[in-house]
């Protein structure tokens, strides 16, 4: 049996590189040799033990690579073809998928739904921070990458870009909308880019790091606010003449960003939430207009599947968006522990790290 290197969760505080067998390929699977992957904020939660996964599980959920071997039922692809797959890899045959919620894929059981059930890489099955990854339900999840695009150009598609755009899509942005985006980490930056793609005429972004606010301008932000320097709620209300924004996007996962996103919203507006929260949330009565403001709060988990990936790749290929400024560092897989250390401590202006197994 051939072996490969893989970054696995050992125990809280420890993700380490180990040797593991290369998995066998079932009829609906594809084995992909990873050429580039990355580390996500969620992986840091796993590292710290804040989000529990099985000990020994390979972590990571953002694959760019080459098809090494295709399952016997997977058609229309070739071994040797370069592909990505979404961070969320649903079985599209499930009840939840057919109901419109593939990311909440409940598998084949009568239950129908499993919260975040479509997120399998580095959660319920071995992930992508390894030399090889097994892509389940490959027929629905393998997305070919055109020759003209580099790994780095499509590295954000599986998660960051799909999630950020989903925040803009769920916000139901219309042409001419004013949109506020709270937090400009990688996902918030993609939400900013997504809001521009949907036709917002004014995008106001909030963060505390000037470097991120600068990149935000490149992604489409019209106005940048540093929460260390201004009362962002008061400032956004002032900028909108007291009207509030049509939509706000929360891209961090804190009570303060959630609450501010609600406070700046016009009656009738939509709060689109992308953050992963770690405690109960409070909805302030006044900002919620006592429940009578025709407001909406919507949450989105990263959409996956080959059609979603195809669309995101096309956006990159069209030049509508350039996410290369987000890849600030590169590490070999062998040095992934150092990469985690950099990323977890947000040192050196890191946004995203490219990990190269080979």
Task: Please list every residue from 30 through 69 that binds a copy of itself, using CB under 8 A.
Answer: none
- Name the pairing type of β-strands 352-356 and 30-38: antiparallel
Per CB under 8 A, 3 contacts a copy of itself: no
- Rounded to the nearest angstrom, the gap between the alpha carbon of residue 349 and the centroid of all alpha carbons in its chain is 19
Q: Which is nearer to a copy of itself, 186 or 244 (CB)?
A: 244
Work out the number of other CB atoms within 10 angstroms of the CB of residue 330.
14
Q: Which is nearer to a copy of itself, 21 or 176 (CB)?
A: 176
Q: How far is the CB of 269 from a copy of itself (least distance, A)?
A: 9
Handedness of CA 265, 267, 269, 272 (dihedral sign): positive
Per CB under 8 A, 298 contacts a copy of itself: yes
Handedness of CA 121, 126, 129, 131 (dihedral sign): negative
Q: Which residues of 260-296 are buried (b: 16+ CB within 10 A; e: fewer)?
A: bbbbbbbeebbbbbbbeeeeeeeeeeebbeeeebebe
Per CB under 8 A, 78 contacts a copy of itself: no
- Rounded to the nearest angstrom, the gap between the alpha carbon of residue 83 and the centroid of all alpha carbons in its chain is 18
Q: How far is the CB of 319 from a copy of itself (least distance, A)?
A: 9
Q: Which is nearer to a copy of itself, 106 or 357 (CB)?
A: 106
Q: How far is the CB of 331 from a copy of itself (least distance, A)?
A: 28
Q: Which is nearer to a copy of itself, 281 or 342 (CB)?
A: 281
Q: Residue 203's beta-bridge partner residues?
A: 179
Q: Which is nearer to a copy of itself, 34 or 103 (CB)?
A: 103
Q: Which stretch binds a copy of itself (CB under 8 A): 12-20, 198-206, 325-333, 347-355?
A: 198-206
Region for residue 232 given its phi and psi (left: phi exceeds 0; alpha: psi -120 to 50; beta: otherwise): alpha
Q: How far is the CB of 123 from a copy of itself (least distance, A)?
A: 11
Per CB under 8 A, 1 contacts a copy of itself: no
Q: Please give the residues from 107 up to 166 whose contact with a copy of itself meets the rule CB under 8 A.
A: 107-117, 137, 139-141, 165
């Amino acid at each position: 049996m051939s072996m490969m290197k893989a970054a696995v969760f050992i125990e809280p505080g420890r993700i380490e590189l180990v040797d593991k067998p290369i998995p066998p390929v079932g009829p609906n699977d594809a084995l992909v040799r990873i050429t580039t992957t990355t580390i996500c904020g969620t992986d840091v939660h796993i590292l710290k033990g804040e989000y529990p996964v099985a000990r020994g599980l390979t972590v990571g959920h953002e694959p760019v690579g080459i098809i090494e071997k295709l399952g016997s039922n997977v058609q229309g692809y070739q071994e040797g073809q370069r592909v990505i797959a979404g961070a969320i890899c649903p079985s599209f045959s499930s009840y939840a998928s057919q109901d419109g919620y593939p990311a909440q894929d409940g598998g084949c059981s009568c239950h129908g739904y499993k919260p975040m059930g479509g997120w399998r890489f580095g959660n319920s099955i071995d992930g992508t921070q390894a030399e090889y990854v097994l892509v389940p339900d490959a027929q629905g999840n393998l997305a070919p990458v055109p020759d003209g695009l580099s790994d780095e150009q499509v590295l954000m598609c599986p998660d960051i870009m799909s999630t950020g755009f989903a925040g803009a899509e769920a916000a139901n942005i219309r042409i001419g909308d004013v949109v506020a985006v709270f937090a400009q980490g990688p996902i918030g930056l993609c939400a900013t880019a997504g809001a521009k793609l949907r036709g917002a005429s004014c995008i106001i972004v909030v963060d505390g790091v000037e470097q991120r606010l600068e990149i935000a301008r490149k992604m489409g932000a019209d106005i940048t606010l540093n929460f260390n320097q201004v009362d962002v709620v008061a400032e956004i209300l002032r900028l909108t003449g007291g009207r509030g924004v049509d939509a706000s996007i929360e891209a961090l996962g804190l009570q303060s960003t959630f609450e501010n996103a609600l406070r700046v919203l016009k009656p009738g507006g939509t709060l689109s939430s992308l953050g992963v929260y770690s405690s109960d949330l409070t909805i302030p009565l006044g900002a919620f207009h006592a429940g009578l403001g025709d407001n909406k709060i919507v949450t989105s988990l990263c959409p996956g599947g080959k059609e979603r990936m195809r669309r995101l790749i096309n956006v990159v290929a069209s030049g509508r968006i350039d996410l290369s400024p987000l890849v600030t560092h590169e590490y070999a897989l062998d040095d992934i522990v150092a990469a985690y250390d950099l990323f977890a401590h947000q040192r050196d202006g890191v946004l995203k790290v490219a990990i190269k197994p080979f």
